[in-house]
Amino acid sequence: METQQPPGQWDVPPPPAKPPRTMTDVQLRVHKSLLWVGTAAYPLRNIARVYTFTLHPKRKEAAFRFLTRALITLAVGIGLSIIGSLTFIDGRSTGTGVLTIVWLGTGAALIYFFVDMLSVVTAQSHYVLAVETAGPSTAMVTSPNPQHLDQLVGYVAGALENPDTEFQVTVERLTINSPTNYHFGDSVNMYGGSGNTGIAA
């Protein structure tokens, strides 16, 4: 007599998709061996990994970048001031005009660099579902409910094992100002050797 296994937690289809409520909502669905994230299609056979993680802004890097830029800008400003004062030692009015322009430019650059740093430091973290393909493409969506994204990992993984699976859910489009201001994916510290590659488990 054969015993039937109870259905796995990912054998049950996800709840039906709600219609998009806002411009940030996007449909994530699996249909005919394709994963659709909005209007972008990813063949299931090309998906290498599906996982959730917290996308953190590069706050520390932004602060160091600001300090580096500020020091370089101030050094250039001081250098140009010294050169200007030596060059225009006889013509005081011309030298003063050049120094004014140098320090106005230096102040404007410092303000720009500070605002740039502030945009990263004040950015919020996002809990996201990431779908990596065998190539360089990565799709990411988010949701106000982290458990919803964790469940979706299981649903997509189930679809990878069973290409006939079909489902559709509503998630939120990830809207960030600049992707370069965020840490993406896993990081790993390697000690010794050269040319090491790896993924943190």
Confidence tier at 69 by pLDDT (50, 70, 90): very high
Task: List b or e across 105-143, with b for residues whose CB sees 16 or more CB atoms inside 10 angstroms.
Answer: ebeebbeebeebbeebeebeebbbbbbbbeeeeebbbbb
Q: Which domain holds residue 80?
A: 59-121
Total structural domains within the chain: 2
**Token pair belonging to 194:** 């050269």
Residue 64 included in any domain: yes
Residue 49 included in any domain: yes
More confident residue, 197 or 85: 85
Same domain, 77 and 91: yes
Confidence tier at 85 by pLDDT (50, 70, 90): confident
Question: Does the pLDDT value for residue 77 go beyond 70?
Answer: yes
Confidence tier at 102 by pLDDT (50, 70, 90): confident
Residue 163 included in any domain: yes
Residue 11 included in any domain: no
Range picked from 39-53, 109-123, 132-146, 173-187 for highest mean pLDDT: 109-123
Residue 15 included in any domain: no
Q: What is d(CA 118, CA 54) in angstroms, rounded to the nearest whole number?
A: 20
Which residues are 165's β-sheet partners? none
Same domain, 77 and 130: no
Strands ordered across the beta sheet of 47-55: 40-43, 34-37, 25-31, 167-173, 138-142, 126-133, 47-55
Domain boundary among 87, 121, 155: 121
pLDDT of residue 188: 41
Same domain, 36 and 78: no
Same domain, 87 and 49: no
pLDDT of residue 5: 40
Question: Does the pLDDT value for residue 72 go beyond 90?
Answer: yes
Tens-place pLDDT, residues 121-165: 998 888 898 888 887 878 888 888 888 888 898 888 888 888 788
pLDDT of residue 25: 82
Average pLDDT over residues 80-90: 74
Residue 30 belongs to domain with CATH number: 2.30.29
Residue 196 included in any domain: no
pLDDT of residue 94: 59
Same domain, 67 and 81: yes
Question: Does the pLDDT value for residue 15 go beyond 80?
Answer: no
